[in-house]
Amino acid sequence: MKDEERAVRPRRADARRNEVTLLEAAAAAFVASGVEAPVRDIAARAGVGTATIYRHFPTRADLIIAVYRHQVEACAEAGPALLGSAPTPYDALREWIDLFVDFLATKHGLAGALHSDQSGLDSLHTYFLDRLVPVCTQLLDAAAEAGEIHAHLTGYELMRGVGNLCIGAENDPRYDARRLVGLLVTGLRRTT
């Protein structure tokens, strides 16, 4: 057990320290300049060379994933929980989507980065989708089974739609992503 704890990831002590330092520096840089903060800035912030970043995180996307992994996991785990606690499956879906939007809306440029054809950020896209689409699908299926929505939409489509609607919402007081997403989810509701 103790071995397993210590054996995680890098072997040398300085390397382990650097990984933590880098994650903190990246998080700070993302808050200050958005997720598009240059790798060099993050390296400078952490007081290391650029190569050190790439030794720990094969690509920029992996660093971004590492920084947000905990929050994405939390969001994913909230799905089934809401299904148990909310009045109806549709309410659960609605609350879960709000959770996701709140997460995206507070990360400058993250929503945009998720869909950039630029550089090698596909793995970021892939990670978010792999982790969250199953949860979304589960909520969607539950709501459909309860007859609250028409089932014409896949979890994948809803996730992408919501993610897209959040793009550029951080710095624009005239654009309220929450309202748009709310309308989208309203549009899902069965009009009986």
> Which residues would be at the binding site for DNA (CB under 7 A)?
10-15, 18, 36, 38-40, 47-52, 54-56, 58-61, 119-120
Q: Which does 1 bind (CB under 5 to 8 A by kind): DNA, a second copy, none?
A: none
Q: In angstroms, give the least distance from the CB of 101 to a second copy.
A: 13
Residue 137: contacted member of DNA, a second copy, none (CB under 5 to 8 Å, by partner type): none
Query: Which residues touch 120 (CB under 8 Å, ≥6 apart)?
Result: 59, 60, 61
Q: Which does 15 bind (CB under 5 to 8 A by kind): DNA, a second copy, none?
A: DNA
Shorter beta-carbon distance to DNA: residue 64 or 167: 64
Instruction: Report, in Å, the least distance between residue 37 CB and DNA.
Output: 7
Q: How far is the C-alpha of 190 from the C-alpha of 184, rounded, in Å? A: 13
Taking each continuous run of H as one helix and of E as one strand, the counts in the chain are 10, 0
* 111 closest CA partner among 181, 189, 23, 24: 181
Residue 40 vs 69, nearer CB to a second copy: 40
In the complex, least distance from residue 20 CB atom to a second copy, rounded to whole angstroms: 29
51 touches, from a second copy, DNA, none (C-beta below 5 to 8 Å by class): DNA
Query: Cβ closer to a second copy: 42 or 113?
Result: 113
Q: Which of 171, 191 has the CB closer to DNA? A: 171
What DSSP letter does each residue of 112-151 carry, written as one string?
A: HHHT--STTTHHHHHHHHHHHHHHHHHHHHHHHHTTSB--
Query: Which region holds residue 28: left if phi is over 0, alpha if psi is between -120 and 50, else beta?
Result: alpha
Interatomic CA distance for residues 151 and 189, integer angstroms: 10
Compute the 3-state secondary structure of the chain and give helix, strand, coil in percent, each to the nearest 5.
70, 0, 30
55 is in the binding site of which of a second copy, DNA, none (Cβ under 5 to 8 A by kind)? Answer: DNA
CA distance 111 to 29: 16
Which is closer to a second copy, CB of 143 or CB of 166?
166
Give residues in contact with a second copy (CB under 8 A): 34, 36, 109, 112, 115-118, 152-154, 156-157, 160-161, 164-168, 172, 174-176, 179-180, 182-188, 191
